Amino acid sequence: MTANLMFYVFTALTALGALGVVFNRNTVNAAMCFLLSLVGLAGLFVLLEAYLLAVLLVFVYAGAVVTLFLFIVMLLDVKGGRRSPFTKGTGLAATVAAALIALGLLSLYNHGRIAAALPAGPGSGSSLKGYAYQLFTTYLLPVQIVGFLLLMAMLGVIVISKRQAGTEDGK
């Protein structure tokens, strides 16, 4: 009973937080809603007994990523920024994204019925050794690829920020 109640609470927190991120016009509010959503998600992981994932989620996302978001939002606009209005490009992208999400939900509804409880995955429980072993054997390639992607994103950010700094100096 308690677990069910907790499930509903955390689900509501996650979903409402996510909606808050999308619908809030104030960027700081949106970032805080993102934080709430992450806390709800971490709670769901705890209910699934995936403590390690829950803690890592809080550590990496809530502890570092959202902090940086807030940091940058505040640095860019101290008065709590307003979003720029929608352009035709954003509208198009939003339509495509919404269509894709609808398609995904539809396919999940049609095929995604889980008959029985799934066997515990590598991230469940707090069996660190199993988790680490899987990470360095079965999932080594995906981990490396994701790391490489992150490296590319980081390089891209550095290039873009350098260029902007250059133009500001030129003024």
Interface contacts to another protein, rule CB under 8 A: 28, 35, 51-52, 55-56, 58-59, 62-64, 67-68, 70-71, 74-75, 78, 80, 126-129, 132
Q: Shortest distance, CB of residue 130 to another protein, whole angstroms?
A: 8
Q: Shortest distance, CB of residue 126 to another protein, whole angstroms?
A: 4
Task: Decide if 48 contacts 117 (C-beta within 8 A).
Answer: no
Q: Shortest distance, CB of residue 108 to another protein, whole angstroms?
A: 30
CA distance 114 to 101: 20
Residue among 18 and 51 whose Cβ is closer to another protein = 51
Q: Shortest distance, CB of residue 103 to another protein, whole angstroms?
A: 35
CA distance 14 to 142: 27
CA distance 37 to 22: 12
Residue among 79 and 111 whose Cβ is closer to another protein = 79
